[in-house]
Amino acid sequence: MATLDLSADVVSLTRQLVDIFSVSHHEQEIADAVEAALVALPHLEVTRRGHTVVARTDLGRTERVVIAGHLDTVPLNDNLPARLEDGVLHGLGSCDMKGGDAVMLKLAADVTSPNRDLTFVFYEAEEVDSVHNGLRKLTESDPGLLEADFAILMEPSNASVEAGCQGTMRVDVRTTGERSHSARSWKGVNAIHLAAPVLARLNDYVAREPEIDGLAYHEGLNATGIRGGVAGNVIPDECVVEVNFRFAPDRSEADAEAYVRDYFDGFDVTVTDMAAGAMPGLDRPAAQAFVEAVGGEVNPKFGWTDVAQFTRLGVPAVNFGPGDPMFAHKQDEHVPTEHVERCERILKEWLA
Amino acid sequence: MATLDLSADVVSLTRQLVDIFSVSHHEQEIADAVEAALVALPHLEVTRRGHTVVARTDLGRTERVVIAGHLDTVPLNDNLPARLEDGVLHGLGSCDMKGGDAVMLKLAADVTSPNRDLTFVFYEAEEVDSVHNGLRKLTESDPGLLEADFAILMEPSNASVEAGCQGTMRVDVRTTGERSHSARSWKGVNAIHLAAPVLARLNDYVAREPEIDGLAYHEGLNATGIRGGVAGNVIPDECVVEVNFRFAPDRSEADAEAYVRDYFDGFDVTVTDMAAGAMPGLDRPAAQAFVEAVGGEVNPKFGWTDVAQFTRLGVPAVNFGPGDPMFAHKQDEHVPTEHVERCERILKEWLA
């Protein structure tokens, strides 16, 4: 079993976390290690649900802050183990988001008497269908554990504040044909060929880029998967294009669905996943106070993040974590050590 | 061990064969039964190679004819045992091609002094990768056993002559992009979107329908599979369209490959499978004589069959077997008893 040394500096700790393989649905080892490290800290009360670990102070402070990070990564892409080079740590999950997890573990170990009560949430299965998401499950099974005045999600955001988040929905666009032997293909109807206009429409897509609370969002419509085929000598009777729509937070779920259905008008469209975005929420006092502590700069968040889960619970939340999100999910995923150190320093100052 | 009663009528014998399970790679029992039945016939010399059984007359006739049929079937699909209903025998392998095998066994048993020397080939593993094909193996291990002036393959062809066969090749057409997070899709290149023109070209395809020896062939270019996608939130960096090209026998393998490469010019094309077609060969005297005996009608064979193996050996060959090939490989595979009886009658007359 892997163990974590919380006395190490935050960069070494990031490296330790990266080197524990934790592709989604394989978080047992990393969750065990995080739980064991937190249980050893007497000022924290630890709760485990599945492979999600929650640790809380209970100091009777007037304000409580949730700090959350997911433990899973996207699939391995020949990018383990971690490699430190010229002040940059490379490796699967270094950016998304084990740098942030390391910052949380350092806060948990070192800030034993924070000025605000703290709730740390290390959770499973953020990179897969939201039905598996550990934070989402917690909002349903243990909402009391997430009660707070403000939440910080350690999603990569260049060690600055990224407010709100875009929504995401997934649909299957399905074409249906008729099987036949491929030696007499004219007796059947090829469902893969029928999908040509679906791909053509995706190529024609022009993104909307609305401005909200002074932040410029950017939508996106993309095939993330395609499948079809029965056997090498059979004309296939079904083809499915999996499409992901990323939509700005001024669009509701219903509006997003209507847009996509209209875009693929004439095709069979099934919604398979939906997560609403979150408005920036920069009008809330707790958010304003944190933004001020960080230095005032705020950017929009393009990716869907679990800030939306907190929005649903009525807790104002922002993204603030090390790493450039542009490198999340890339083969050469990496995080500047300066980002990790900066996030640790700012949060320690804010909580001192 | 199963035994075969060659004194039964040809329909009963078909039924006996269907009821011996012989999915590809499980031909031992049926080959044992066929071998035992043939060894009991004093006018035949029997040779066995694996689960392929060859039986030959050696009467010094001026002409020799090979009659061949495979013993294996596609996978079981809840379609055993055989069932006879209203003049139609239903069951796995009834059409493809145990009706033909039964005709061969009746000829072997009853035509003890044929006007042409006969070579019967009952072979294994036709329905799987050609590397396992019993007839192909025989062309390499014992080509002398296959020397002949003419060959008849008992592949289902509606009890009429289907000459030649089309070739088949498979290629992967691959597009390559660049991964990125789907929330910032504009940072990546979507390989599935890049496949749009591949599908568009398939839709634009116009089949060539050449006339060869008076027969109208019909080519086909079809996607039989498509795959792409890394995860639901990743812009995919690869998409593969599996394409099957069925080509008329006037095209060589090299020509077929050049055609497909040119058709997908600009895309990455990899050939994964190739089997040449077979020219009808109706200009050869032995073929003409047989066609005349059958009554003169000849159709083209669209599907690839083992007549191509004989073409490679320089032996003119045709398909002539009971059953409609449209029902081969189908759950409700069946053969009209009239077809089986007709094939037996015609061949007996021709060989008398």
pLDDT digits over B75-87, tens only?
898 999 999 999 9
Task: Give residue B285's pLDDT.
Answer: 84
pLDDT tens-digit series, residues A157-176: 999 999 999 999 999 999 99
DSSP-derived letter for residue A24 is T
Residue A295 has a pLDDT of 86
Residue of A nearest to B178 (CA): A330
H/E run at residue A346: helix A337-351
Q: What is the pLDDT of residue B297?
A: 87
Cα–Cα nearest to A100, from A77, A127, A128, A67: A67
Is the Cβ pair B179, A273 closer than 8 Å?
Answer: no
HSE toward the beta carbon, residue B112, CA cutoff 13 A: 7
Q: How far apart are CA B223 and CA B198, in angstroms?
A: 10
Res A286 pLDDT > 80? no
Under the banding of pLDDT at 50, 70 and 90, the label for residue A318 is very high
CA of A308 vs chain B CAs: smallest distance (Å): 15
End-to-end CA distance of chain B, in Å?
Answer: 33
Q: What is the pLDDT of residue B329?
A: 84
Nearest CA in chain A to B273: A232
Question: What's the CA gap between B88 and B94, in Å, rounded?
Answer: 10
Q: What is the pLDDT of residue A231?
A: 86
Contact B224 A231 (CB under 8 A): yes
Greater confidence (B262 vs A187) lies with: B262
Question: Can you give the pLDDT at residue B312?
Answer: 87
Does position A314 have pLDDT exceeding 90, yes or no? Answer: no
Active site residues of A: 72, 126
- Is the distance from CB of A183 to CB of A247 less than 8 angstroms? no
Q: Is B229–A242 a contact, with Cβ atoms under 8 angstroms apart?
A: yes
Cβ contact (<8 Å) for A326 and B218?
A: no
Look at B226 and A220 and tell me if their CB atoms are within 8 Å: no
pTM of the model: 0.81
CB nearest B232 (choices: A192, A224, A302)? A224
Residue, of B13 and A329, whose pLDDT is higher: B13
SS3 A269: strand
d(CA A14, CA A59): 28
Reported as a single tens digit per residue, the pLDDT across B124-146 is 999 988 889 999 999 999 999 99
Q: Which two tokens stand for residue A344?
A: 């640790």
Instruction: State the pLDDT confidence band at A191, using cuts at 50, 70 and 90.
Output: very high
Mean pLDDT of B234-249: 97
pLDDT band at A287 (very low <50, low <70, confident <90, very high): confident
pLDDT score of B296 more than 90:
no
3-state secondary structure string, chain B?
A: CCCCCCCCCHHHHHHHHHCCCCECCCCHHHHHHHHHHHHCCCCCEEEEECCEEEEECCCCCCCEEEEEEECCECCCCCCCCCEEECCEEECCCHHHHHHHHHHHHHHHHHCCCCCCEEEEEEECCCCCCHHHCHHHHHHHHCHHHHCCCEEEECCCCCCCEEECECEEEEEEEEEECECEEHHHHHHCECHHHHCHHHHHHHHHCCCCCCEECCEECCCEEEEEEEEEECCCCEECCEEEEEEEEEECCCCCHHHHHHHHHHHCCCCEEEEEEEECCECCCCCCHHHHHHHHHHCCCEEECCCCCCHHHHHHHCCCEEEECCCCHHHCCCCCCEEEHHHHHHHHHHHHHHHC
Instruction: Report pLDDT for A213.
Output: 84
Q: Which amino acid is at B48?
A: R
Taking CA atoms, what residue in B is nearest to A200?
B196
CA atoms within 13 A on the CB side of A288: 4
Position A138 pLDDT exceeds 90: yes
Cis upstream peptide for B97 (omega within 30°): yes
What's the pLDDT score for residue B167?
96
Residue B122 tokens, joined: 């009952």
Please report residues of A whose CB lies closer than 8 A to that of B227: 226-227, 229
In Å, how far is A43's CA from the nearest CA of chain B? Answer: 38
Inter-CA distances, A14 with A126, B86, B87, B184, Å: 18, 75, 75, 25
- Segment A223-235 shows an average pLDDT of 94
Q: Which domains does chain B have, with CATH numbers?
A: 10-165+278-351 (3.40.630.10), 167-275 (3.30.70.360)
One-letter amino acid of A62: T
Query: Which of A199, A240, A331 has the most B C-beta neighbours within 10 Å, making it the best mutation to test the interface with B?
Result: A199
Digit-coded pLDDT (tens) for A3-55:
999 999 999 999 999 999 999 999 999 999 999 999 999 999 999 999 999 99
Could you tell me the two tokens for A325? 């999100």
Angle A256-A258-A261 (CA atoms, 0-180°, nearest 5)?
110
Query: Per the CB < 8 Å rule, is A224 touching B239?
Result: no
Scored b (16 or more CB within 10 A) or e, B231-268 reads bbbbbbbbbbbbbbbbbbbbbeeeebbebbeebbeebe
Give the residue on A whose Cα is nearest the Cα of B166: A183
pLDDT at A147: 95
User: Ranked by mean pLDDT, which of A195-204, A207-216, A322-331 comes out on top?
Assistant: A195-204
Q: Would you state the pLDDT for residue A130?
A: 82
Confidence of residue B148 (pLDDT cuts 50, 70, 90): very high
The pLDDT > 70 percentage for chain B reads 100
pLDDT top residue among A232 and B53 = B53
Share of chain B above pLDDT 90, in %: 89
Chain B nearest-CA distance from A218, in A, is 8
- Do residues B182 and B266 make contact, with C-beta atoms less than 8 angstroms apart? no
Among A278-292, B54-68, B237-251, name the one with the lowest average pLDDT. Answer: A278-292
Find the angle CA(A78)-CA(A79)-CA(A81) to the nearest 5 degrees.
115
Q: How many helices (H) and strands (E) does chain A have?
A: 10, 19
| Length of chain A measured in residues | 352
Q: Does the beta-carbon distance from B196 to A181 stay under 8 Å?
A: no
Q: Pick from A312, A282, A154, A157: which is nearest to A212 by CA? A: A282
**CA-to-CA distance for A302 and A299, rounded, in angstroms?**
9
Q: What is the pLDDT of residue A21?
A: 98
Whether B72 is catalytic: yes
Residue-level pLDDT at B129: 82
